[in-house]
Amino acid sequence: MELRYLTPLTPGEQRAHGLPEPQPLAMADRVRFSELDPLGHVNNKAYLDWFEAVRVRHFETMCLPHYGDTPAPRLLLRNASIHYMREMHRDESYIATARATSFRSSSYIVEQQLWSGGTLRARLEAVMVLMCPDGAGKQPIPDALRRVLVARDGATEAS
Indicate the pLDDT class of residue 132, thresholds 50, 70 and 90: very high
Total-model pTM: 0.95
Tell me if 9 sits within 8 A of 27, measured CB to CB.
Answer: yes
Question: How long a stretch of residues is the chain?
Answer: 159
pLDDT in tens, 27-53: 999 999 999 999 999 999 999 999 999
3-state secondary structure of 118: coil
pLDDT in tens, 64-87: 999 988 889 999 999 999 999 999
Please report the domains of the chain, with CATH numbers, ordered by start residue: 11-157 (3.10.129.10)
What is the CB neighbour count within 10 angstroms for residue 142? 16
